[in-house]
Structure 1
Amino acid sequence: MSGPRRLRRPAGVALAIALVAGGLLVAYPQKSPQTAPPARLGLTTAWPHAARADIPGNLSDGPVYHPLLFLDAQVSVGTAPSPDGTSSRLVLRAADGSVRELRRRPLDSLPEFGTLAVAGTDLVWTESANGEATEVWTATTTGDRVRRLTQDTGNPVFAGSQWDVVLADGRAWWVATARDPKVTEIRSVALTGGAVTVRKEPGTWSLTAWPWLTDGGGDATGTSVLRSLTENKEQRVASTGTELTTCGPVWCRVLVLTADGLARIDAMHPDGSARRRIAGGEAGAAITDVAVLDRFEILSEARPDSDLTGTEGLLIYDLSDGRTIDVSEAVRGAFARGGVLWWSTGDQDSLLWHTVDLRTV
């Protein structure tokens, strides 16, 4: 795995802006933003009792550590090379810095660990090496009973979302492309192992918060419909042609576009209700997922020196009260899964990971 990555705007923004500039999207007048949000607060001022941590960027045995999932503000699962530099390891790092190794693959096999999910004491991840099929593995959150669930993953599609693998109803779920490009496979395997089930859904879909699917991941206008996997139910999304909309079942992030670029960022429910401005055109989406815990929109903000430093500001917009929280002025990468937000500062020689457990604010 490479070093900390610079914050990036979500996929599709550049395409959508180009289409607007080229006149391929119809321009509609945009409503004026609602009342301006309250003044920004610092993280400690806003949530003085939130669980937080600052974690060294290197393991106790030396190598640089890249967390992929936090169980709380301090306990995490991530990757690091072996001290001798011959292998890549997936490890569970405890609050005291001690490490339990879950898996190890030779570096010359080009291994990749990722797409982690957790529910209760069940920890699930995907891994691949040597260009072979992606596998699904599991262990407990204490690092016990490590075992492979399946190699029968099809042609899985992972987009860097916490919903790439969803744990629900005692099963691990993911999407895969089918031979027919107009069909998406919804695959799942029991957490106890066994045969993989495959459900075919017409259209191009991604998983979001269970039991919902969302469409439009690669479209210039984004999400247009949400579909339930457990009920005969769909939710059409209210949006215009000059917006890039990304939705979960509760909230949508709306990038309002003009020929000059991004004008502002709004949030709304999928039916268009409760729409409000949450940031101006200088901001961007810091992570793929919308509205962490159905409450927190994680944003980045370019600085005058961002092109030189590779860093941006990190913000949280609280949808419950309209406050904007300044998290950090200079962040190289930000991530969120399961309600924990983490980000990096420094470089390979002075790397630090910082966390806030948003479930505790």
Structure 2
Amino acid sequence: MSDGRRLRVPVGVALAVSLGAAGLLLAYPQERDKPTAASRTNLATAWPGAGRAEIPGNLSDGPIFHPQLFLDARTSIGTAPSPDGTALRLVLRAADGSVRELRRRPLTSHPEFGTMAVSGADLVWTESAGGGPTELWTATASGAGVRRLTRDTGNAVFFGSQWDVVIADGRAWWATATDDPDVTEIRSVPLTAGPVTVRREPGTWALTAWPWLTDGGGDQTGTTRLRTLTGTEERRVASTGTELATCGPTWCRVLVLTPSGLDRIDAMHPDGSERRRIADGTAGAAITDVAILDRFEILSEADANSALTGTEGLLVHDLRYGRTVEVSAAVDGVSARNGVLWWSTGDQDSLVWHTLDLRTV
């Protein structure tokens, strides 16, 4: 396709996906010693000075706010309907609760403000409406200088990752599908606007931490290779047919599978070194991305009431110190970008957004 519409996969790694992969990959459990399970502690004990906040779910003018990016524990950018219900707004919500509107589009056009990235003072996001192509927009992180970068986005492929759009070298970068399933386009545009540059990469790739590409982002085979955009280096991931690895350039999350399902979750470097067990089979990946800030693996854990309540426990495994921090017993809507983790509690009438700035721990 070439109309700029995005292909999507769900955010997070559900056990159902793991089992689907097991059906394709699994013959017998892997014969190896299991790494020792990580120790556990609570949030207050582990990180008493971390930046945290509880933010009302509704804006001061009434509508429910859905954050898409936090600049710090209290300052965020996200979407909310207009008070009269006629438009969807993209707004910057300051630490004091005040709101600055960046963009709005009529609800009748079925608008979507999507993937968002920030680097220093530069903010970039995608938006689409009315069946038109996905557009790339930019502003400063303070909300000034809003302008469109390009409509020439191709068939952009987004996976619910913080790396779907990457800001690097003065440009915004993203991946697009092509008519050839064995070729991926890596597109970029200057943050000052200008023509889009297109680079064709043999294989099926997604962007990860700059300047790397990762394969296997949208299927059930997991990551097998990493390739750099600034040179010729390519890395093979050390995993077996009984495992499903999801990797960035520094760490991999490894689902270890058995005929009956998920046995445990390990972490390792892409070359297989420093492998360790970080969770049992009762846990799952709460977000798509691996090892936030090259240190924190975000996990969820169901309990006996999860099927009824729709909530799960939220855990953060600290790869630096080899311990798991219990963040909350019952959460919903977990996300992490720009080093800030956030989640929701409550319902439509009592929604609260909770944040943990992992850059401050």
Task: State the TM bucket, normalised to the shorter chain.
Answer: over 0.9
Report the Cα distance in structure 2 between the residues aligned to 1:25 and 1:330, rounded to whole angstroms.
Answer: 32
Q: Distance in 2 between matches of 1:21 and 1:262?
A: 12
What is the CA–CA distance in structure 2 between the aligned matches of 1:357 and 1:124, rounded to whole Å? Answer: 21
Structure 1: which 5+ residue stretches go unaligned? 1-6
- Displacement of 1:9 in angstroms is 4.8
Aligned counterpart, 1:41? 41
1:41: Cα distance to partner? 1.4
Contact 1:291 1:298 in 2 (8 A): yes
Cα pair 1:212 1:229 within 8 Å, conserved: yes
Is the contact made by 2:11 and 2:160 (CA closer than 8 Å) also made in structure 1? no
Deviation at 1:218, TM superposition (A): 2.9
Once the two structures are superposed, residues 110-159 of structure 1 have per-residue CA deviations (whole angstroms, 9 ceiling, x without a partner) of 00001000011111000000010000000111111100000000000011
**Which amino acid letter does the alignment assign opposite residue 34 of structure 1?**
P
Counterpart CA distance in 1 for 2:270 and 2:30 is 20
Instruction: State the one-letter code of the partner of 2:271.
Output: D
Taking the TM superposition and a 5 Å limit, the aligned residue runs for 1:189-338 are 189-338=189-338
1:166-185 per-position Cα deviation (integer Å, ceiling 9, x unaligned): 00000000000112111000
User: Which residue of 2 is the match for residue 159 of structure 1?
Assistant: 159
CA deviation after TM superposition for structure 1 residue 291, in Å = 0.1
Kindly provide the amino acid, as one letter, of the partner of residue 10 in structure 1: V
Amino acid at match of 1:20: A
Measure, in 2, the Cα distance between the counterparts of 1:130 and 1:312. Answer: 36
With over 3 angstroms needed to count, the CA separation of the structure-2 counterparts of 1:199 and 1:64, relative to structure 1, is same
Aligned in 2, Cα 1:63/1:16: closer, same or farther, shift over 3 Å? Answer: closer
Query: What is aligned with 1:10?
Result: 13
What does residue 171 of structure 2 align with?
171
TM superposition shift of 1:258: 1.1
For 1:85, the equivalent position in structure 2 comes to 85
2:143 match: secondary structure: coil
Q: Is the 8 A contact 1:136 1:149 kept in 2?
A: yes
1:118-157 superposed matches below 5 A = 118-157=118-157
Say which SS state the counterpart of residue 153 (structure 1) adopts: coil
**TM-score in terms of structure 1 length:** 0.95
Q: 1:29 deviation in Å?
A: 2.4
State the secondary structure of the residue aligned to 2:198. strand
Query: 1:27 — aligned with what?
Result: 28
Q: Deviations over 1:315-335 (max 9, x none)?
A: 000000111100000001100
Question: C-alpha separation between the residues in 2 aligned to 1:95 and 1:128?
Answer: 28
Alpha carbons 1:223, 1:247 under 8 Å: kept: yes
Asked if the contact 1:72–1:357 (Cα under 8 Å) also holds between the matched residues in 2, the reply is yes
Which residue in 2 is equivalent to 1:340? 340
- Cα distance per residue 1:232-284 (max 9 Å; x no partner): 10110000001111000000000011111111000000000000100000000
Q: Distance in 2 between matches of 1:303 and 1:170?
A: 45
Taking a change above 3 Å as real, the CA distance of residues 326 and 27 of structure 1, as seen in their structure-2 partners, is same
What letter corresponds to residue 320 of structure 1 in structure 2? R
CA distance in 2, matches of 1:257, 1:210: 30
TM-score between both structures, scaled by the size of structure 2: 0.95
| Partner Cα separation in structure 2 for residue 90 and residue 28 of structure 1 | 48
For residue 284 of structure 2, give the secondary structure of its aligned residue in structure 1.
Answer: strand
Amino acid at match of 1:247: C
- RMSD over aligned Cα, in angstroms? 1.4
Q: Given that residues 18 and 262 in structure 2 are in contact (C-alpha distance below 8 angstroms), is that contact kept between their aligned partners in structure 1?
A: no
- Cα drift, residue 33 of structure 1: 2.2
Task: In structure 2, list runs of 5 or more residues that go unmatched.
Answer: 1-9
Contact kept in structure 2, 1:215 and 1:225, CA below 8 Å: yes
Deviation at 1:161, TM superposition (A): 0.2
Structure 2 CA distance for partners of 1:19 and 1:177, relative to 1, 3 Å: closer
> Which residue in the other structure is 1:64 paired with?
64
Contact (CA 8 Å) 2:215, 2:223: kept in 1 or not?
yes
SS in 1 for 2:44: helix
**Cα separation, 2, equivalents of 1:48 and 1:297:** 19
Identity of aligned residues (%): 72
Give the CA deviation at 1:75. 0.4
CA contact (8 A) 1:25 1:242 kept: yes
Cα distance in 1, alignment partners of residues 91 and 198 from structure 2 = 31
Query: Which region of structure 1 is more displaced relative to structure 2, 262-271 or 217-226?
Result: 217-226
Aligned partner of residue 350 in structure 2, secondary structure: coil
Contact 1:186 1:199 in 2 (8 A): yes
Partner Cα separation in structure 2 for residue 246 and residue 306 of structure 1 = 25
Report SS of the residue matched to 1:241: coil
2:5 alignment counterpart: none
Question: What residue identity is the alignment partner of 1:14?
Answer: A
Aligned partner of 1:110 in structure 2 is: 110
Q: CA deviation at 1:45?
A: 1.2
Q: For residues 276 and 231 of structure 2, what CA distance do their matches in structure 1 show?
A: 30
Counterpart position of 1:3 = none
8 A contact 1:255–1:265 mirrored in 2: yes
